[in-house]
Every structure is written in C-alpha cells, then in structure tokens.
Structure 1
C-alpha cells in the first residue's frame, strides 16, 4: 500500500492498540496466563509506531509517542490500574488487538509490591522487578525502535533504553535504595558473624546499584559503598579492640589474615571489584595500623619474641600483613634491626671474653677469633638472610612488585645491623684482618677447617657477602694480599681453583681494581714454575753460570708501588748468596731487559748443613737466618753490633733472628750473657755441641706483627686515593664549598673505605700547598680548582 493510500492512524486509536501490546507484555512478565508474542504481533506493533511516525503533519506523532513510551513505564511502576478504552478503524488492527487482549487481569505494579515487603523479601522483590523492568525496556525499545533510529537522533534526546532505565531509577531506586543498602549491609555483617546468607541475591542486588548508573559508578559508590565501608570500619574496630587484649600476636595475626582473606572472597562473590582495595584498606587500618605498635611489642609474643624463638611461619605472616599498610614495615624492620644487632654484639662480647681468657693462658688468640667469631657471624647471617628471603619471596597474597620493595626494606635493616657489629673488631684485630685470616685458614694446606670442595666454595661465598658490610674493604684487600703472597711463595695454597674462585667472587662484589693485584699474583705463580724450568735449562747449557748451590727462585711481578717496599738490594755480603743473585740476574736478562729484579730476602728460605760435634744436622732457615749463621764460618765469636753491621738490618730484624737462633727451642748459637732476651751488648758464638734427634729441623722466626705495616701501607694508599678523589671532583666542578666537597669525596670513596673527615681536610690543605686548589679570597670555605 502506498503512502497516499495508507489510512491515517490518529493518536488515541494507535496508542490504544500499543497499550494492549504493553499490557500483554506486563502479564507475561508477571507470570499471568498469556500467550507469547508471535512474529506477526511484533511486526504489527512495530509497524503501527512506524506508521504513526511517518504520517504527514499534523499526524506525525513522534513526540507524543516518545512521551507515552516514558509514561507507560511510569504507569506500570506507580499506578494501580490500567485503562482499556478501545476504538477500531482498521479491521487488521482489530484482529491483532483481540489477540493481544486475551487476558484482562491487571498486573500488580512495582512500587506497591516493594512497599509491602521488608528485609530479604524486599531484596528478592527488587531483583525480580529490576529483571522484569530490563526485559520490558528491551521489548518496548524494539516496538518503538523507529523513534530511536530517526526522531531521537535528530532531536538529540535520550535514547529509549536510557529513558526506560531512568524511570526505574527516579521512581523506584531513589525511594528504596536506603532500605536496600541497610538490608545488604545487615546481611554482610551476619555473614561476618558466621551465618549463611544468599550470596547470589546480594550479587544481583548490588548489580542494580552498578547498572542504574548506566556506565557510571557514582550510585554504587555514594548510595552503597560509602556506608558499607563505614560499617566495615566499625565492625573490625569492635573486633580488634577485644582481640588485642585477649590474643597473642600470632593468634591475632591469624585472625587478621583470615579476615582479609574473607573480605577478598566477599568481593569475588558479590561486591564490585572496585571495592576490593578500599575494603582491604579499611580492614588493614582497623586490625593492623591502629594496633601496630601494641601488637608488635607484645611482651611474650611480639616481633622480638618471634625472632628470638625462630617462629619463621609467624614472622612470614607478620611481614605479609605489615608490608600492605603505609609505613607498616617501619616498626618491623626497626625491631628486626635491633634484634640482629643485639645478637651480633653478643658474639663480639663472647669473642672478646674468649680472647681475654686465651691471653691470660698465653694461648693462640687469632685462631680463636677467626674460627669461632667469623664462623658464628656467618651462621648468624645465614639465619637472618634466610628469614628475609623466606618471608618475602613466597608471597601469594600480595603483588610481586610490593614484595620486592618490602624485601629491599627489610634487607636494608639486615645490612644496617650487620654493619654495626661487623665493624667492631675483636681484641684489637679489625674485622678486615679477621676475615682475611679466616680465608687464609680455609685456603692454605693444613688449615684447621677440614671442608669438602663444595663446603669451601659455599663458605667463601658467605665470607664475600660479609665483606659487603665492612667499611675498610681496602684493609681487607691488603691483609688478604699479604697472606695470599705467603701461600703462593711457600706453596701453602691447598687448591688453585679455590684461590681463583674467591678472587672471582671478590671481583664481582668489589670491582676489578680491588682484585687486579691478587689476580696478577696467582697468574705469576704459573709463570714462576715455567721460569724455574727455563732457569734449570739455562744452568745446564751454561757451565760457567753455576751458582754453586741449588737455587729456586719464585717470581712475583709486583703491580703497585706498595708491593715493592719489602726488598733491600744491599742486604747481603755473603759470597755464595751474591753469586746466586748474579747468576739469576744474568739468566733473567736473557729473557727481558725491561724489568728490574727486587729481591725480598725476608721471604726466602735456605737449607744449611750444620756440622756439629755429635752429628751433622740440616737446618731449614730463612735467608736472614742463613746470613747470620754463615757469619760464624769466618768468626768464632761476634758481638750484636758486628752482626748488625754485617747484615745491614734494622734492630728489630736482628733481635728477631738472633732470638730464634739462641733463645728459642733450637740453640744453634750460644749467647752471653745467658738470658731470654737479646741486648745490644750481647755476644754470640757457634754452639758446636748442639744436637737433635731429627736429621733435619726447621728453625722458625718469631712471627712478625704485619698489622702495623699493613695499616701504614693502607693509610698511605688512602692518602693517594683521597687526593685523587678531591682532584677529580674539583676538576669537574671548578668551584666548590668545603662541606659539599667532603660529602662528594666520602660518597666516591665509600665503596672501599670510609674516609675520615679530618683526613680529607688535611689532604685539602696539602693540595692547596701544592697548587692544585686555592681558597676563595672572600670565603675561606670555598675552593677553586687550579688547572
């Protein structure tokens, strides 16, 4: 039928027809006896709207139908009866109208049915009414679809779906949301108390708060969430105030963790996901933040007690819980740091007391310090590092990034605690010296610790970790280097692989510059063995180069100025030894002319045949001792001053070697007068009556105290390091104040040692005197760099 032939439908007639269709839809939604819509019914209703909207003015009823669409929802929600006055102009419409109005029962409208119900029944009715309303909106939007397509778009009006939902919001939701909110919160609190509730119902109710916002969360947040969070705070505040008095710290934490788990579960089942962080924050605040100090400091069960009693599981829970609240780890890490520091200081005191007892008994002190103290510190570090790792790497409850920051946080407390007592030292020995001695004992042949290769590797790894806490790393390096030199030169190293392994670990920890000298020494040892083979070949091929005695030379290529301070080329005047030195020099010059040989006689050894009257005994002595004994081949009796002059040694060195030969276990020389100490007025002669049950004996020199020498060398190196640092800083900054210069210098050098502020000030003055820097004329605390 063409537009011109189509009969005009007036508003009242058309709307009466539409209203019958709407009534049928309401009956279906109410569950009343009603036939379903056929495709013909649907098309007739759609076509009626289409026709009424496309008639020529004044019969274009688009605006009126748009209004009636809204009114039909309002009527369904609010009114109590439906008008049924019908007029027919079209036979087709009449037939469809009869089909649509087969049931004349009036459905129960929305608001009255909600007003007569309460609590959970009211919630169920609301869910049902909302579900029906959404279906009704969907169907009516289809009937009136032509309005959505053209009329609404042209007029910029709200679309049909929005109009339908807005009617429910304005007429139903606004009236009941307060009662609904209170009913929901009441059910949540019942569930918190252990009662069973219909979670699916709550989920459907809370979906209404979300959906009614039509894309916005303001209704959910303002009309429900705010009150729910307030109630949550009040609920857990009541609970916490009782628990904190009744429960131990572990029991309280178990309850807190269970509460947090249940609140997360609540979100998963019926609250909106956006509520989770806000909800957990409220619970954490009331259960943890409010009572943090009171909980952690509980006398018999708080953080300190858990650390003392090794309650790893409870500590893990504590770290998990408190890492989630703002600054929650502050008190935990403070207690942790104090506890570890206290245990560490107790180890220092134990070692001090043991050292005092040993000293009184005149027994070995250093052995005790390095074996017991260092081992106990390693065990302490293992224990608390495991705490830190276990508590922060096994989280499933919290986010990994947070774990990492929490791990660093408590790891820092561990670091600060160990820095306190690891830098104390024991009985006059610094921790740097003790660590170096501990390593030496593990790495040398015949050390007191009998460990497997795996255990040695593991122990060395732990020693290097401890080194990170020691401020005087350069002092450790010098002590370690001295001991390494002795192990290598005297073939005391148990395993070359272990020597290289610890150097690799030290390099990773402290950098390549830290280990460069030591790595060179290990490499030189291999070269020295090859060099000895070459020397023996050289002697066999050159009969004139015979040194007269067997000579083994260990070469160490020294790589710094400090390494060359032990030698004295003018030391000896013994023809045999001089001949050895000359022969080796001639050999070495055939290999290279660019290196200078420096002989360190203090580290040499000699085998001397002592022809005593009872029998001949082979004496294993140092080069110094050999030099002193060989003097008695030329003279029967020598004074202290004569020996000193001929050996060209210091008083201390002469006293040490003469004491070893005349006052110790093996009296190779007879001293006048016969006392236990060496004096400058003493006389010495060869003891021809000496004998021993052994054919070969080793005559030890009293151990020299290397500590003073090492400290002097390190102090000298530090002066150079401070000078270099100041010059570097001033070269880049040109002008700088005293305080800032000190700060930057300490920061630059802090990785190897903590420079003393007085030492920095002294070096600044020295650099000024050497024209590297100058003071500002107007400000004495401001320095300028002089290029």
Structure 2
C-alpha cells in the first residue's frame, strides 16, 4: 500500500516595471529614415534593403505610438516628389502620338505598380489612421490626387494627351490600324484620375459632331443612298465597338447621339427622296430594312411611312386608271398587295404605322374611281369561280382569300354585291360554276366580312337551288304515279323573285313539242303551292336535243333558243333568216346571235349562205348533212350578248335606288328616335350610319324628298330644325 505524500508547488510571479519604458527620442526620425530609404528605392526601381515585413512592423510601431499623422504627411511629401519627377520626365517627351501615348501608359503603369507596393508597406497606416480620419485620403486616393495635381501643373501635358487620343481615333475612323490596348489603358488612366470627361470625352464629342457633320454632307452627295445607309450603319457599329473596347460606359450614348444627329438626321429627306423608290423597284429588302432601323433611331419613320404610302398610291393609280388593263387590274392589285405585305414583314417589322400606310394607300386607290373597282372585283370572282384550266380548287381558294384582303378596302360594297349576285345567278342557272363548295366558301367569307344582311339574298339563291332539287324529286314521283308515257327528263328550277336579279322577258314561240311538259309542271306546282304564280325565264332554259345526221346520231346540249331554231329544220332543210324569225318569234339581235352559234362556231350543225362569221337578215340557212363529230354528246355554247354599257348602267341605277331607300330609312329611323333634330346633326348622324359612300348633297336631297312625302317637317321658327311626323 502506498502512502499519501504532500506535494509542494511553486508559483511564478511576474512583477511590473517600476517605470514605464521610454521611447527613444530619435524613434520617429530613425523609423522614417528606414521607411524613406525603402520608398525612394521603390520609386527609383532599386532593390529594398529590408523586407516588407520589417517595414510593415516599423509602420505599425509608429502608429501604435501615435505617430500616424506625421508619418502620413512625410509619406505624402515623398510620393509627391517622386510623382512630380515622373510627370516632368513625361512632359519632356517629344515624339509621335503613338510613342507619346506609350510613354504615358508606361508612366501610369509604373505609378500604379509603385503606389500599390508602397501602400502594401503602409497598409497599417492606411487602415488605422487614414480610414478613420475624414481629412486624410487613403494612400491610393492621395497618390491619384498627387498625380492629378502634377498633370495640372503641366497644363500642356493634358492637352497633348487629348490631341494624341483624338488623332488616334481619327486614324481608326479613316481605316488605319491602331494599338487598341494602348488607347484603352490611357482611357482607364483618365477615368481613374477623374479627368476623363474634361480631358477626353467633351473634346472628343465636339470633334465627333464636326467630323460626322462634314462626312454626312460630303457622302450624301457623293454616294448612292444604299451605300450611304451602309456607311451610317458601319459608323454606329464602329462607335459601339469603340465604346466597348476603349471608352468609359458614359461615352457610348452621347457618341451614338452624335452620329444620329449629325450623320443621319440632317439627310433623311434626301435619302428618302433619292433612294426609297429605287429600293422598292429593285426589291432591295436589305436596304429598306436598314433604312427603317436607322430612321427609327432618329425618330424619322414618318418620312419612310409617307414615302411607302406615296409609292403604293402611285403604283395603284397607274393600275386602276389604265382602261387597257381592266381585265387584269384586280390580279395586279392582289400582286401589289402581296408585295406590300412582304415588304412589311421583311423590312418594316410589321409595324402598325406601316400597316396603316398600306391600308390608306389601297383604300385610296381602290375607291378613286368610285364604284368601278367594286364592279371589276365581282367580274374577277366570276372568272375564278367559273374555273380556269389547270387551276386547282386549292389555288382558287387561296385567290379568294387574297381578294377578301383588298375587298375590305372597297367602300362601294353594295355595287360589288349587285354585280356579284348577277354573275352568281348565271353560274348557278347555266351550270357554269366550277365548284359549289367554292361558291359557298366565298359567300361564307362575304358573310364574315360584311354580315348576314349582305349575303341574305345570295344565300337565298342557294336555298332556291337546293329546294328545286327536292321539288324535282317530288315531281318525278308525281309523273310516275300519273303513268305519263313520255319519259323525257324535265328539270325545273323555281326561283324566289326577291333573291334573284330581274331578267327582261323574252319573246319566243314556245316549241309545241315542249309545251305539254311545261303545262304539266305548272299544273303540278300550282296544285302543290296554291296562290303562287310562275313566270318562265326562257333566256335561261336549255335542252338536250337528239339529232340524226348521216354520220350518226348525236345529242346536242343547247339553249332553248337554239332548240327552237333546230326544231324548225325538222320540217324544212333550208330556211331564210326571215322564215326563222317568223317561226321562233325571237328578236333580231337574239336570233342573229343564236344562228351565229349554230352556223359559224366550232360546232356547225347548220350551214349559212353566204359564208362568213357574221349573220345578216339576208342570209339563208341549211341543215348541215355533212356534220361530223367524234363525241356523242356535244355542247354548243351560246354566244352571250356582251354586257352593254346600258346593262351596266341599269345595275348601277339599281344600286342607286337601293341607296336612296337606305338613306330614307336611316333618316326616318333617326327622326323617329330623336323627334326633333337640327339639320347638321341629322346630316352627320345619317352619314355615320350608312354603310356605303355618300355625300352631303345626296342626303339633303333625300331629306327634301321625305319632307315632300310628309315623313318629317321643318320647324316653323327654325328652318334648320326638323320634326318627325308620326
């Protein structure tokens, strides 16, 4: 077993100094001497005889003994001396711009390198003294201030730097290659010294405005518009590159403004007047795009829009005012619209401003001749919907879509509707329509664009055609039930008078062979629909006639007028014009056209004496026993009477009457609602409600007519005020 043993411990006691240690009297001076030697060595690019750590500790000791302010002032004086020497050496440089700027760069590089080295040694001073004393700048900031002061003392030095930089930039603008790194470093020096704006930016921007003003005035006359635009674009690109690589960020926008204000903006009118039509005619979408983007920068797009609008108007007027091109004017307007839309997409960013320019141009050109383009559009549609050889339904549908685009710009839509309805009736009743699907598609487009009221009659025409099909099914059943022995097919289309165009009555001696069939149908229809009356439109009827020729039997697809003439030759092989007129009862013009189709066309089932293309009242006609044709069923087209100016005028008169009724209805409707209204307000409100172009005198005439018919009256006390008469 062990025994507990007592352990004696010793304590170390440290007693304080009886007196506080004293700092040597030469401590501050001796410490600075060591530091000054180091600072001078750094400034003269010589080796330092002490380590940076030792020097840092000296600085730290001085600061701990409250010697920071004195140390700071001594360091500032030493730095000022060395910086002054360096700047003075730079000022003595006499050389080219590039060599001089290289010397500036070296001086600055040396300065920054030495300043950072000195700061690393005096870092404790910087953080413990300068940072906490607002009256003393940091070592780096102080050095910059000293450098700036020395530059100021050598005023010509700043001017030399500015001129050297400006000449170097001018060399680059002229196409010369420059030392971009050198320029960038000098610019950074100016920015660090906070003299960039005074020493470079302000004189540079002044010089740039003068330069671009002179260059613009010279080049706009010496180069083509397209080349001038390319040059402007290149200048902007060059400016952006300069701003990115050399200049301070604050210079970019003023420099671009200088180019816009002095190189582009003063010459916009000249560029547009000299170049726009050239670009359009040559389809220079690249030049147009460049024009748009450059003018957008200077807020001058209104000039481009006006030129685009004027260009489209000029081309459009050349087309619509040329009477020799009326057959192709609609197609050419579609081509022009497609080209305008392509330019909108490729060059003008589909801008709403330029869309309005296109709309205004087409609206003007398509209505400048009043109702004429509406009429021509209806005829264009008639041609397309009758079908063209080699054109598919898909292509026709695309053309219909294109037409609807320019149809929107036409004001006289009621004129279009009148002519379209007349042509549609012929296509439906004479079997001239290439596709019912296309017909219905077109009406659907018109309904979508103009509303159901616009297409009500057109849809009614199709409804009549469909009802006629059902009616003929019932008629065929009725004939079968009656045991009729004549098996010849009969097809009748019953039309509603209000939907279809009015057709003039035709005088004809109805063939006795066909009369029983007509009478039988009339009896069937009037029995089925009591109270209704049928009026036969003989000009629209056609037949299948079986004919026997020495070469064989044929079936002839002919009109009723042609049928009536051919049946005359069952009783005689030769008949004169007068004989045929007596037997058929046809008018002279109609008889001439019908005989011409049978004796002078491609299919000649009759012979004419004397021979010729025209028919006269002295001609004699013979049954053509020598007729031959490979086909069994032969269609003999009627020679349609050309649409005379009188017929066109009648259609326009019909539209005019309808417009008068619409004006009357609008005025009465307004007065019924308002009871009392002034002349100007009634005129304005009526014209705003009408869907067709009209004038104030036209409305005034209808107001006078309504007064005469006692729908409204003038106020006795105020002649310019109207009252509604219930």
TM-score range, shorter chain: 0.5 to 0.7
**2:326 alignment partner in structure 1:** 369
Determine which of 228, 246, 257 is the counterpart of 1:270: 246
Aligned residues of 1:601 and 1:624 also touching (Cα < 8 A): no
Give 3-state SS (helix, strand or coil) of 1:665's partner: helix
Match of 1:378 in 2: 334
Question: Do 2:663 and 2:699's aligned partners in 1 also have CA atoms closer than 8 Å?
Answer: yes
* Number of the residue aligned with 1:191: 172
Structure 2 vs 1, CA of residues 275 and 488 (structure 1 numbering), >3 Å: closer, same or farther?
Answer: farther
Instruction: Give the structure 1 partner of residue 612 of structure 2.
Output: none
Shift of 1:442: 1.4
Counterpart position of 1:479 = 419
Higher mean displacement: 372-381 or 765-774: 765-774
Q: What is the CA RMSD across the aligned residues, in angstroms?
A: 5.8
Matched, 1:463 2:445: no
Instruction: Tell me by how many angstroms 1:465 deviates.
Output: 3.0
d(CA) in 2 for partners of 1:504, 1:696: 32
Alignment partner of 1:666: what SS? helix
Tell me by how many angstroms 1:197 deviates. Answer: 1.8
Instruction: Decide which of 362, 367, 370 is 1:423's aligned counterpart.
Output: 367
For residues 96-121 of structure 1, the C-alpha deviation after alignment (integer angstroms, 9 at most, x for no partner) is xxxxxxxxxxx876544554447414
The answer as to 2:694 corresponding to 1:755 is yes
- Give the structure with higher Rg (CA): 2
2:587 maps to 658
What is the Cα deviation at residue 290 of structure 1?
2.5
CA distance in 1, matches of 2:314, 2:689: 31
Q: Is the Cα–Cα contact under 8 Å of residues 84 and 147 in structure 2 kept in the other structure?
A: no
The Cα offsets for residues 726-755 of structure 1, whole Å up to 9 and x where unpaired, read as 799999999998767766766666xx6433
The answer for the alignment partner of 1:260 in structure 2 is 236
| TM-score where L is the length of structure 1 | 0.64
Matches within 5 A, 1:408-419: 408-419=352-363
Find out whether 1:491 has 2:431 as its counterpart.
Answer: yes
Distance in 1, matches of 2:62 and 2:673, equals 88
Counterpart in 1 of 2:524? 583
Whole-angstrom CA distance in 2 between matches of 1:719 and 1:541: 51
| Count of aligned pairs between the two proteins | 648
Corresponding residue of 2:149: 171
C-alpha distance in 2, partners of 1:250/1:186? 29
Asked if 1:326 is matched to 2:299, the reply is: yes
Which of 492, 499, 521 lines up with 1:563 in the alignment? 499
What is aligned with 1:451? 391
Q: Residues 484 and 311 from structure 1, CA distance in 2 versus in 1: closer, same or farther, beyond 3 angstroms?
A: same
Aligned with 1:195: secondary structure? coil
Q: Which runs of 5+ in 1 are unaligned?
A: 53-58, 81-106, 214-218, 355-367, 393-402, 631-642, 644-653, 669-686
Q: SS at the partner of 2:167?
A: helix
Name the counterpart of 2:377.
Answer: 435
Q: Distance in 2 between matches of 1:490 and 1:167?
A: 100
Q: Normalized against structure 2, the TM-score is what?
A: 0.68
Q: Which of 512, 522, 535 is the matching residue for 2:474?
A: 535
CA contact (8 A) 2:458 2:499 kept: no
Q: 2:541 aligns with which of 579, 582, 605?
A: 605
Between the aligned partners of 2:719 and 2:38, the Cα distance in structure 1 is 99
Is the contact made by 1:566 and 1:600 (CA closer than 8 Å) also made in structure 2? no
From the superposition, tell whether residues 782 and 276 of structure 1 become closer, same or farther in structure 2 (CA, over 3 Å). Answer: farther
Which structure 2 segments of 5+ residues have no match? Answer: 1-13, 95-99, 569-580, 598-618, 628-633
Distance 1:776 1:68 in 2: 106
SS at match of 1:755: coil
Once residues 223 and 13 of structure 1 are traced to their aligned partners in structure 2, the CA distance between those partners, rounded to angstroms, is: 45
User: Per the alignment, do residues 736 and 178 of structure 1 end up closer, same or farther by CA in structure 2, a change over 3 Å counting?
Assistant: farther
Inter-partner Cα distance in structure 2 for 1:279 and 1:601: 81
Q: How far 1:321 sits from its partner (Å)?
A: 3.6
CA displacement 1:337-392 (0-9 Å, x = unmatched): 4444444444345x42x3xxxxxxxxxxxxx732x333333344444544444333
Residues 547, 576 of structure 1: 8 Å contact kept: no
The answer (yes or no) to whether the contact 1:606–1:622 under 8 Å persists in 2 is: yes
Query: What is the CA distance between 1:189 and its match in structure 2?
Result: 0.9
Counterpart contact for 1:46–1:145, Cα < 8 Å: no
Contact 1:24 1:34 in 2 (8 A): yes
Offset of 1:312 from its aligned partner? Answer: 5.0
Following superposition, the deviation at residue 611 of structure 1 comes to 12
Task: Return 600-609 or 488-497, whichever deviates more.
Answer: 600-609
Query: What is the alpha-carbon distance in structure 2 between the residues aligned to residue 529 and residue 10 of structure 1?
Result: 131
SS in 1 for 2:698: helix
Aligned to 2:206: 230
What is the alpha-carbon distance in structure 2 between the residues aligned to residue 16 and residue 721 of structure 1? 114
Query: 1:607 is paired with a residue of what secondary structure?
Result: strand
Matches within 5 A, 1:37-436: 45=59, 49=63, 51=64, 65=69, 69=72, 71=73, 74-75=76-77, 78-80=80-82, 111-117=87-93, 119-121=100-102, 123-125=104-106, 127-128=108-109, 131-132=112-113, 135=116, 139=120, 143-146=125-128, 151=132, 160=138, 164=142, 167=145, 171=149, 179-211=160-192, 220-221=196-197, 224-298=200-274, 302-308=275-281, 311=284, 313-327=286-300, 330=303, 332-348=304-320, 351-352=322-323, 354=324, 369-370=326-327, 372-392=328-348, 403-405=349-351, 408-425=352-369, 430-436=372-378
- Distance in 1 (CA, whole Å) between partners of 2:642 and 2:652 is 17
Q: Give the deviation of 1:460 after TM superposition.
A: 3.0
When residues 161 and 460 of structure 1 are mapped into structure 2, their CA distance, relative to the original with a 3 A threshold, is farther
- Contact kept in structure 2, 1:472 and 1:753, CA below 8 Å: yes
Measured after TM superposition, the shift of residue 148 of structure 1 is 7.8
Distance 1:254 1:742 in 2: 54
Q: Give the match for residue 602 of structure 2.
A: none
What SS does the corresponding residue of 1:486 show, helix, strand or coil?
helix
